[in-house]
Chain A
Amino acid sequence: MPDTLTTPDAGTTEATTAPLELSLQGALNLALDEILAENPKALVLGEDVGTLGGVFRVTSGLAAKHGSERVFDTPLAESGILGMSIGLAMAGFHPIPEVQFDGFAYPAVNQIVCQLARMNYRSRGTLPMPVTLRVPSFGGIRAPEHHGESLEALFAHVPGLKVVSPSDPQQGYSLLRAAARMADPVIFMEPKSRYWQKGQVTPEGGAPSSKLSGARIARPGRHLTLVAWGAMVARCLQVAELAAEDGIDVEVLDLRWLKPIDGDALAASVGKTRRAVVVHEAPRTSGLGAEVAQVITERCFGTLKAPVERVTGFDVPYPSGDLEDEYIPNIDRILFGIQRVLEYKRG
């Protein structure tokens, strides 16, 4: 799958804007600003997204700039937000609803799973659902209960949904722009612990790249592939630096799209390194790591030097802040995972 992330099509470079230093929050804000300017049917709705600009300020200033009709606060009810977005899509709009925190997607599950994901199918393609649902996701900010959930496996399991998670400001900008061009529902999982991390962002500058799909290699390596998404990509990059000190050359694959999963990218990477560790914050059992491991096994069984290892959260409710560093895969646990794979001996 082509990666058109930072390299606009040849011949359109003159329209490209210079790179900007932005946080993930700022990059997402820029993307939404451009989406609203470019697509008159785009709407932003949710709790506190208007005047306040969202609790993470991702929608800051958008209501003032694009009008409080197009960027509007809703009553505090997630099922209502999603159900309303479905109706707005039926009326020809491209809603970009926000669920304020991952755990509050649960009250909207009926609308997401039974309605949003199925309307295109039920209506035989006559009522498309171009809805981009933004969900501040994952843990790492010592938040109250239900404010640090990892729901990717839940959403990825639902036919009719596409799921994506950016790992840095550039990814956030480009993937949100890409998601908002899609004619299908996309669950856009923003790693909230990375909102304030800055990075270089090259805006499209009026030369929209084609639809962005597939995984990307965040760091090339030869000995082992770390597969991650969201906030775990940055952690895996740290791990790779530490491993390099011991002479282990780790490749970090940023999966980006959790549905559909880029099997070709996984096969290319692990086909080369012959070892893989999947890292995610979500609980282990039936987590997306199992799916990734199976895709790798199907494609690379003959060349694998060890079973695909998983370093994940535990099968426990997401713990309070004091314990979350024990729960979220930390550098040591990922290094242990790497060690297990490297030292694996066939029995």
Chain B
Amino acid sequence: MQTSGQSTTAPGRGALANAPREPLPQLPVVDPVTPGELVELYRLMTAVRHLDRAAISWQRQGIIPAYAPELGQEAAQVGSALAVDTRRDFVFPTYRELGVARACGVDMVEYMATHKATWHGGLWDPAAAHVAPIQAVVAGSVLHAVGWAHGQTLEARGELPEDGYNVAITYLGDGASSQGDVHEAMNFAAVFKAPVVFFVQNNGWAISVPTEKQVAGGSVSARGAGYGIPALKVDGNDPAAVLTATRRAVAHARAGHGPVLVEAMTYRRGPHATSDDPGRYRTLEEERADAGADPIGRLRERILAEGAADTAALDAAEAAAAAEAEQVREGVLALGPRPGAEMFDLVFQETTDELERQKANWQEETESRKESEDA
């Protein structure tokens, strides 16, 4: 078909094949991490380490049925979480973000409630904490972060607020990056220029499958370019580097420039979960080589070398962390089952007659059973 007045050789959209690619936007530069922040990172990472180790013990002791340790990912988790402000921003974790939750001030007993099988997602109030419930579907909440972030731009009605947009940060791993939802989320985020940070903890393993069998091209962050999303790859075992990278990403999104992808290269030092057996898919030698130095040990050396704190102060943080873990243990032990009525009452905001009938029937049968047990 030929339109009048047009050359018979006009390539039309075909000319786009030779159009230059738009350069990716530059991320802003942020202030370097202060000595005080280094000590805060240490304090939090130590607390997380103690809680994480304690949780494995609790599983072995039969206090909780299962747990997914984050050992080795303290720097990536605490470093990234400190870059957001949960008074205004919103955090979307998966099921391995103890460090993120702790750094965001989530009550650790209420967090552990999910692992104690008390309530899926945890017991804290996610709307108040601005930390979404624990998400068991890998990449399940990545799209939610994009939706929440787009909601912030809608609230602003196209005018960048003086203090910028509220930002969503969503956590995913190298395994989750294979999920189609991650593609949809990144594409949507870029199309809508949503203020969201995709924070990838590339910990080398998706249960038993190594990154090289998981991530084509070897890098999740490399995919950002395809969406026009600027991406940073950072040493995920260096908390100061993670904090700086995430702060740059948040600042970019806050300023209305759209999404950013951060890939923190780290290592899952422990098993996938307490039921896992890494000996079936990796050797101790490989673990040692890939894990590198302990992120907390590295930070401790740096703090002492730079004089940000002295040994006594760091030891005190260590003692406080041990005490905290003990306190959380008591809280977890005291955590009884939720009233069974909650099964019914929390399904809907506005319940249904059918659900009320099922609840009444359950209550009747439960009471009758108890009576016969007592008799």
Q: Show the binding face of A for B, using Cβ within 8 Å.
A: 1, 43, 69-70, 74-75, 77, 79-80, 82-93, 95, 110-111, 114-115, 118-128, 130, 159-160, 162, 182-184, 211, 259-261, 263
- Taking Cβ atoms with an 8 Å cutoff, the residues of B that contact A are 90, 119-121, 123, 125-128, 132-133, 137, 140-152, 154-155, 157-158, 168, 180-181, 184-185, 187-188, 191, 342, 346-350, 352-355
CB atoms of B184 and A90 under 8 A apart: no
Is the CB–CB distance between A87 and B148 below 8 Å? yes
From A75, A84, A114, A125, name the one whose CB has the most chain B CB atoms within 10 angstroms.
A84
The answer, among B145, B168, B347, for a CB contact under 8 Å with A160, is B347
Query: Other CB < 8 Å A-B pairs besides A87-B143, A123-B126, 17 of them?
Result: A80-B187, A87-B144, A87-B147, A88-B150, A88-B154, A90-B127, A91-B147, A123-B121, A124-B342, A126-B125, A126-B126, A126-B128, A130-B349, A160-B347, A184-B350, A260-B355, A263-B354
Residue of A at shortest CB range from B141? Answer: A115
Decide: B126 and A83 in contact? CB cutoff 8 A. Answer: no
Is A77 a contact partner of B154 (Cβ separation < 8 A)? Answer: no
Q: Pick the contact of A69 from B144, B154, B191 — CB < 8 Å?
A: B154
In the complex, chain A residues whose CB is within 8 Å of the CB of B127: 90, 123, 126-127
Q: Is the CB–CB distance between B158 and A80 below 8 Å? A: no
Sampled A-B contacts (9; CB under 8 Å): A82-B143, A83-B147, A88-B151, A91-B147, A120-B346, A122-B120, A122-B133, A259-B352, A263-B353
Residues of B within 8 A of A260 (CB): 352-355
B239 to chain A, nearest CB (A): 28
CB distance from A161 to the nearest CB of B (A): 9
Residues of A within 8 A of B141 (CB): 115
Asked whether B143 lies within 8 Å of A79 as measured between CB atoms, the reply is yes
Check A182–B148 contact: CB distance below 8 A. Answer: no
- B119, B125, B152: the one contacting A91 at CB < 8 Å is B152
Question: A124 contacts B143, CB within 8 Å?
Answer: no
- Give the shortest distance, in Å, between B193 (CB) and chain A (any CB): 12
Known: A124-B119, A126-B126, A260-B352. A77 touches B147 (CB 8 A): no
Chain B at the A interface: SS class:
helix
- A-chain residues with CB within 8 Å of residue B346 when the two chains form the complex: 120-121, 124-125
A125→B345 CA distance, assembly (Å): 9
Contacts of A128 in B (CB 8 A): 349
Nearest neighbor of A185 in chain B, beta-carbon distance: B348
Which residues of B are found within 8 Å of A95, using beta-carbon distances? 147
For the complex, give the distance between the alpha carbons of A318 and B100 in Å.
48
B107 smallest CB distance to A (angstroms): 14
Contact of A86 with B147 at beta-carbon distance under 8 Å, contacts A114-B137, A160-B347 already known: yes
User: B353 to chain A: which residues have CB within 8 Å?
Assistant: 1, 260, 263
The 6 closest A-B pairs by CB, nearest first: A87-B147, A83-B143, A91-B151, A183-B349, A80-B184, A84-B147
Q: Is B154 in contact with A43, judged by CB distance below 8 angstroms?
A: yes
Q: Which residue of A lies closest to B184 (CB)?
A: A80
| Alpha-carbon gap, A214 to B10, bound state (A) | 61
Is B184 a contact of A87 with CB atoms below 8 Å?
no
**Contact with A87, one of B137, B149, B349 (Cβ below 8 angstroms):** B149
Tell me the minimal C-beta distance from A127 to chain B in angstroms. 6
**In the bound complex, what is the Cα–Cα distance between A94 and B188 (angstroms)?**
19
Query: Are A80 and B354 in contact, CB atoms less than 8 angstroms apart?
Result: no
* CA–CA, A159 and B352, complex, Å: 11
Complex-state Cα separation, A111 to B135, whole angstroms:
12
B109 to chain A, nearest CB (A): 15
For B155, give its contact among A84, A91, A115, A127 (CB under 8 Å): A91
Asked if A87 and B140 sit within 8 Å, CB to CB, the answer is no
CB-defined contacts of B155 to chain A, threshold 8 Å: 91
